Structure 1
Amino acid sequence: MNLFADIRELVIDSLDQLTAEGLLPAGLEMKNVAVEPPRDAAHGDMATNAAMVLAKPAKMKPRDIAEALAAKLAEDHRITVAEVAGPGFLNLRLADGVWQGVIGTALTDESYGRSNMGQGRKVNVEYVSANPTGPLHVGHTRGAVFGDALASLLDYAGYDVTREYYINDGGAQVDVLARSVYLRYLEALGQEVAFEDGTYPGDYLIPVGKALAEAYGDKLVGVREEEWLPEIRDYATDAMMHLIRSDLAMLGVEMDVFYSEKSLYGTGQIEGAIAALEAQGLIYEGVLEPPKGKMPEDWEPREQTLFRSTAHGDDVDRPIKKSDGSWTYFAPDIAYHYTKIERGFDVLIDILGADHGGYVKRMKAAVSALSAGEVPLDIKLTQLVRLFKNGEPFKMSKRAGTFIMLRDVVEQVGPDVTRFVMLTRKNDAPLDFDFDKVLEQSKDNPVFYVNYAVARVNSVLRKAKEAGIDVDDATLAAADLSGITHESELKVAKSLAEWPRLVEIAARTNEPHRIAFFLYDLASDFHALWNRGNDEVGLRFIQEGDVATSQSKIALAKAVSVVISSGLGILGVTPVEEMR
């Protein structure tokens, strides 16, 4: 059930009737007709722009269309008021029974809020994809939570979702990792070492070096780098990926696919992807314009192999080969995305850090070219996370060498708090993570505030059972809800009705933070009803001596818990049973 979709269908049916009656011209396009909450709740329960969007193609005044539509809608038993406002907006008020029906549906329909919007289309959500050179840091944490919640949201909205991690194990940074591990290996054998030339000094490589020493003894000491580098590179990469998988598990993130960049080399896959572009005349030898702004001292014009990415919306064409004939980093990325297209995905989503802003247009251009514009690529950038404690910027363990690790954050506040807080801002906005605030019990802490609503519902259920009131699911689902008429109760029911619509909006825009915002608003409406019940006995969930009325009010509370639990499930957060 999606009440807003149902009322929109009523609006479209009414417009069709007006067309059949000759009051509207035939052939009007209805796709832009919307039914939404009004900007001001005082204006009604819902509003439609139908008259405004149809006036021009119908060659009629908006108010004339709105008045005819209002008269038609008023015939439906669900509509109590259909009022024309301004130049032609139409505000609607719905009967109490409609909102009461939402409560019953939320309790009886296990799929309430779910959507078939995705129609089973295959979506690849690639996220985290950190270089396998160390444990995940706090910046990766935000990308991991955002990507995982988005994948769950799309699944909830009817898509066939694959969660994927791209292992960047084909570049020079993995050689640096191998050299760093070799230094820890020598250290484990008692030698003095110095971390120079960009090698990684983090303590997390100490156990890897020790394990290497136990496995090889001193066999690699004094051996030329070109002899030990390939083997240690693989050994170190495997060790780091084991560490990364462990970090993700702490956060409750499970990937469906780990795809190795290295597997693209020497297999013809890079060459195949470039050949597919070349067949379209998009690969050529040329000289790029000098960079805009201050000219780098080492820049010189030179002929390169270029991808004509400007043909697909990029600002400049992009090199795919270096001057020495080796591939640029962009070439394997092109090939990797080509594999996604070949694997049959209908939609691609990449979750990247804020420092990848310059990567967006070129990658979209490549996917557009390789898929003939058939497979959309949405790239979401996650902004930085700033940590605070006691009102001051907070720096924790230096075990990672130069950065704060994911596991440091999770160990301090737990995975549920970490996940929820990471979704309290839009992905492209900076996020402040204050260790004191995320653990305090107040309205200013959204994690607590939402969970407190669930805990309060559970408290009502326990007290009802103690009072001998039957509150099992079947009984509450069958409760007579006709007495749910107070404005505070109906406000909660109206919030529940927003859930299916909100899910589709969040999935359509790839914005899981909307779920967190919705849950906070729903919890706020519920807490307001609870607090009002402290002053007005008739609004309390348990009515002494009146089992039937108690059950109807508890049904409303339970519906709130059901929807909040569904939303928290999308975010990967476990609802609390009670507050301690």
Structure 2
Amino acid sequence: MNIFATFEGRVRAAVQGLIRSGQLPEGLDLARVVVEPPRDASHGDLATNAALVLAKEAKTNPKALGETLAAALRADPDVVEAQVAGPGFINLRLAPGTFHAVVRAALAEGEAYGRGTMASGASPAGRVNIEYVSANPTGPMHVGHGRGAVFGDALANLLVAAGRDVTREYYINDAGAQVDVLARSAFLRYREALGEPVGPVPEGLYPGDYLVPVGQALAEAHGRALLDQPETEWLPLVRAFAIDAMMDLIRADLERLGIHHDVFFSEATLKEAVPVLLAELRGKGLVYEGRLPPPKGQLPEDWEDREQTLFRTVEFGDDVDRPLLKSDGSFTYFASDIAYHRDKIARGATDLIDVLGADHGGYVKRMQAAVKAVSDGHATLDVKLCQLVRLLRAGEPVKMSKRAGEFITLREVVDEVGRDAIRFMMLYRKNDATLDFDLAKVVEQSKENPVFYVQYAHARCVSVFRQAAQAMPGEDLSRNGLLAEADLALLTDPGEIEIMRLVAQYPRVIEAAAGAHEPHRVAFYLYELASSLHGLWNKGKDLPQLRFINPDDRNSTRARLALVEALRGVVAFGLAVLGVTAPDEMR
């Protein structure tokens, strides 16, 4: 049950009624009419922008149209009050029974409450492809990778909850120069495992100890045979071996965060696809030979004023046309990226999402232009950039890892603070804002630690039911038992009403967060919901009549338990979207 969608339909029906009565002209575009929570909860339960967005088209004043529409909405039996505010917003106050129905729906629907409410975007039958993590297979994952991993995984969960068909994808960068460096670094460790004198790791190779087991495994598999081979022979063998080993390491790191991908796509497999792509773009007249203007400001050292093979990305919204071939005749990374996204589209994806590091900001326009071009406008691309993570301990920067050589590994952080703390705190800030992750603070048991505060709300709800079972033995306090029949009209305290209103917002939170590709909205909402529960709990300490359990007043107890169970379910389902557990007790 989504009261926002329900009342959006009623607002539009009221507009249609005004059209039929001749008070408004026909043909009004109702697509921009929305119903949402008012910015100030004291103004009402719902607010609509209908008068604001329709006034110009209807050739009338927004406030005047607001008054007319408010009068029509007052005829709705579920509307207690309809008032025009500001430039023409209409605030609605609903009958208490509306929120009682929400609580009953949350109890009856269980995990289905709030799910499957979102339209399928660009294409009703279209699939979403989310590519995330895609860390170079040259070493263990660091905390920065973890942020993109958690964000991408939570976004995938969110879109599934909203009713979308989602593919989770990892792009293996196994065709660039960095994997040759990896192979040479692993070969050094292979020689070391055989007792060869290697000395300090040469500059330009990867120094981390994580390659020691790879060298040992190579020695076990090949003995000393590789030592007698020239680099041209051992390099491809060691490269494939090392990439497999690194991907096993990365998968294990992701597993610690509860992250799994449906597809691992190898960049190396695009070798034949890129020439086919270039021929296709030439056939469409989208490739030409030309010169690029010099970049604004100081010229980079590697800039060449030469004729190049260029893709007409400006025609599709980019700032400048982009080269597809390097000066040595090899394909640019951009050409490979276009071929890769074309492959996603060929596999049925219409809504593409790439989760990347903040240093990829210059990538966005060109790839959105490319996707538009190769799909003939039938597919869209949203690029979500994840900003840096500053790792702290009690406010002080954390020193580098000995194992990784240059950074703190994600595995080290998971081992120290746990999966739940990492996932929730990575999502408790918008992805494009820098995140300070304090290893000491994320394990504190206090209101200032959001993950503890939200999980504690779930544990507190479960504790309430354990106490209720002791206080009222034999009562069926299940979702479909006596709670389903509870008299919710007994819930009149402002704290109880606030919880009902927040529970009612959950379907809209899922829908809006999925539409905006912003899972942090779910984390913020859960914190607010938890705060409302803890606030009501504390109120009951001073006002016994508000306590959740009163065996002498079983009707009120059942009503409050129904409310607690509805809230508990929403917290559990919301945490599941974020990939965080909902504990029955805090340890």
Q: TM-score, normalised by structure 1?
A: 0.97
| More deviation, 272-281/137-146 | 272-281
Q: Cα–Cα, structure 1 residues 75 and 382, in superposed 2: closer, same or farther, change >3 Å? A: same
| More deviation, 116-125/357-366 | 116-125
Aligned to 1:22, the other structure's residue is in SS state coil
The yes-or-no answer on 1:244 pairing with 2:250 is: yes
Distance 2:149 2:343 in 1: 22
Any conservation in 2 of the 1:120–1:159 contact (CA below 8 Å)? no
Any conservation in 1 of the 2:139–2:210 contact (CA below 8 Å)? yes
What residue in structure 1 maps to residue 149 of structure 2? 144
What does residue range 384-463 of structure 1 map to in structure 2 within 5 Å? 384-463=388-467
Report Cα offsets for 1:488-542 as digits up to 9, x if no partner. Answer: 1010000011111111110111001111011001111111111111111221110
The yes-or-no answer on 1:195 pairing with 2:196 is: no
Any conservation in 2 of the 1:457–1:558 contact (CA below 8 Å)? yes
Distance 1:298 1:341 in 2: 34
CA drift at 1:222: 4.0
Match for 2:438: what amino acid?
A: D
CA drift at 1:396: 4.8
CA drift at 1:481: 1.3
Aligned to 1:47, the other structure's residue is in SS state strand
Aligned to 1:255, the other structure's residue is in SS state coil
The yes-or-no answer on 1:500 pairing with 2:507 is: yes
Report Cα offsets for 1:348-375 as digits up to 9, x if no partner. Answer: 0000111111111111111111001110
Report Cα offsets for 1:460-482 as digits up to 9, x if no partner. Answer: 00000011252222222222212
Aligned residues: 578
Distance 1:365 1:192 in 2: 52
What does residue range 478-497 of structure 1 map to in structure 2 within 5 Å? 478-497=485-504
Aligned to 1:386, the other structure's residue is in SS state strand
The yes-or-no answer on 1:311 pairing with 2:315 is: yes
- Which of 314, 323, 329 does residue 325 from structure 1 map onto? 329
Gaps of 5+ in 1: none
What residue in structure 2 maps to residue 24 of structure 1? 24
- Which of 530, 542, 550 does residue 543 from structure 1 map onto? 550
Match for 1:47: what amino acid?
A: A
Any conservation in 2 of the 1:506–1:515 contact (CA below 8 Å)? yes
- Which of 300, 304, 318 does residue 300 from structure 1 map onto? 304
Any conservation in 2 of the 1:83–1:90 contact (CA below 8 Å)? yes
Aligned to 1:289, the other structure's residue is in SS state coil
Match for 2:309: what amino acid?
A: T
Any conservation in 2 of the 1:250–1:407 contact (CA below 8 Å)? yes
Q: Percent identity?
A: 59
CA drift at 1:321: 1.2
What does residue range 154-165 of structure 1 map to in structure 2 within 5 Å? 154-165=159-170
Aligned to 2:490, the other structure's residue is in SS state coil
Distance 1:165 1:259 in 2: 6
What residue in structure 1 maps to residue 107 of structure 2? 107
CA drift at 1:67: 2.1
Any conservation in 1 of the 2:136–2:173 contact (CA below 8 Å)? yes
Distance 2:362 2:76 in 1: 53
The yes-or-no answer on 1:576 pairing with 2:577 is: no
- Which of 294, 298, 301 does residue 290 from structure 1 map onto? 294
Q: Cα–Cα, structure 1 residues 564 and 345, in superposed 2: closer, same or farther, change >3 Å? A: same
The yes-or-no answer on 1:220 pairing with 2:232 is: no
Match for 1:153: what amino acid?
A: L
> RMSD over aligned Cα, in angstroms?
1.3
What residue in structure 1 maps to residue 211 of structure 2? 205
Distance 1:295 1:122 in 2: 42
Aligned to 1:374, the other structure's residue is in SS state coil
Report Cα offsets for 1:205-242 as digits up to 9, x if no partner. Answer: 00000110111111111421111101111111111111
What residue in structure 2 maps to residue 125 of structure 1? 130
Report Cα offsets for 1:104-145 as digits up to 9, x if no partner. Answer: 111101311112422553000000001111111111000000
Distance 1:360 1:288 in 2: 19
What residue in structure 2 maps to residue 85 of structure 1? 85
Report Cα offsets for 1:417-455 as digits up to 9, x if no partner. Answer: 110010011000000000111010111110011011111
Gaps of 5+ in 2: none
What residue in structure 1 maps to residue 236 of structure 2? 230
- Which of 162, 168, 183 does residue 178 from structure 1 map onto? 183
What residue in structure 1 maps to residue 172 of structure 2? 167
Distance 1:141 1:87 in 2: 45
Distance 1:468 1:223 in 2: 79
Q: Cα–Cα, structure 1 residues 359 and 97, in superposed 2: closer, same or farther, change >3 Å? A: same
Aligned to 1:575, the other structure's residue is in SS state coil
Match for 1:240: what amino acid?
A: M
CA drift at 1:291: 2.4
Match for 1:255: what amino acid?
A: H
Aligned to 1:109, the other structure's residue is in SS state helix
Aligned to 1:125, the other structure's residue is in SS state strand
Any conservation in 2 of the 1:100–1:484 contact (CA below 8 Å)? no
What residue in structure 1 maps to residue 570 of structure 2? 563
Match for 1:512: what amino acid?
A: P
Match for 1:551: what amino acid?
A: R
Q: Cα–Cα, structure 1 residues 430 and 289, in superposed 2: closer, same or farther, change >3 Å? A: same
- Which of 322, 339, 345 does residue 341 from structure 1 map onto? 345
Any conservation in 2 of the 1:419–1:572 contact (CA below 8 Å)? yes
Distance 2:82 2:226 in 1: 83
CA drift at 1:197: 4.5
Match for 2:11: what amino acid?
A: V
Any conservation in 2 of the 1:122–1:344 contact (CA below 8 Å)? yes
Report Cα offsets for 1:142-178 as digits up to 9, x if no partner. Answer: 0000000000000111110000000010111111100
Aligned to 1:542, the other structure's residue is in SS state coil
**Which 4+ residue blocks in structure 1 deviate beyond 4 angstroms?**
none
| More deviation, 174-183/310-319 | 310-319
